[in-house]
Amino acid sequence: MQTVKWDETLATGDPTVDQEHHKLFILVDELNKPADELHGPEFISAVVDDILEYARSHFAHEEALMERSAYPDIERHRALHAAFAEEADRLSFENALGTTFSPTGLAVFMNDWLREHILAEDRRLVEHLRSGGAGSAG
């Protein structure tokens, strides 16, 4: 089982964005519960729904920051957010249909995506905001 945990290497330097990222990791880690604590496809769907709801709220916050600051890479960043939500939706749908997959595997996918996205994309956004983007990161 891969541990899904926030750590300081993922800090962007923006306290609000970092707090939202931390919450996402807490939600994703729910998928790592031992098998005897999982309650079947319904539990997995509920966890994925919680992750997606929170992720969409977080993505909306980031995208508002991008709009206010005239972030030059906004369309690509938005597309990455949409791709994550689409893939999570697809996996949740497959789970609801009874497709067998590992909740831990889903957690690994989400963990890896979040880490890569934060380190590559979100840090670039926060740097833009700090270098004089029109909006404020906080």
121 belongs to a structural domain: yes
30 belongs to a structural domain: yes
pLDDT (0 to 100) of residue 138:
42
At residue 48, what is the residue type?
V
pLDDT band at 137 (very low <50, low <70, confident <90, very high): very low
CATH of the domain at 88: 1.20.120.50
Q: Residue 138 CB: number of other CB atoms within 10 A?
A: 9
81 belongs to a structural domain: yes
Q: Residue 83 CB: number of other CB atoms within 10 A?
A: 11
Please give the tally of structural domains in the chain: 1
Alpha carbon distance 75, 104 (integer Å) = 31
138 belongs to a structural domain: no
Q: Domain limits at 70? A: 8-130
pLDDT in tens, 86-130: 988 887 777 777 776 677 778 888 889 999 999 999 999 999 998
pLDDT (0 to 100) of residue 39:
62
- pLDDT higher at 2 or 123: 123
111 belongs to a structural domain: yes
pLDDT in tens, 25-61: 999 888 887 666 666 777 877 888 899 999 999 999 9
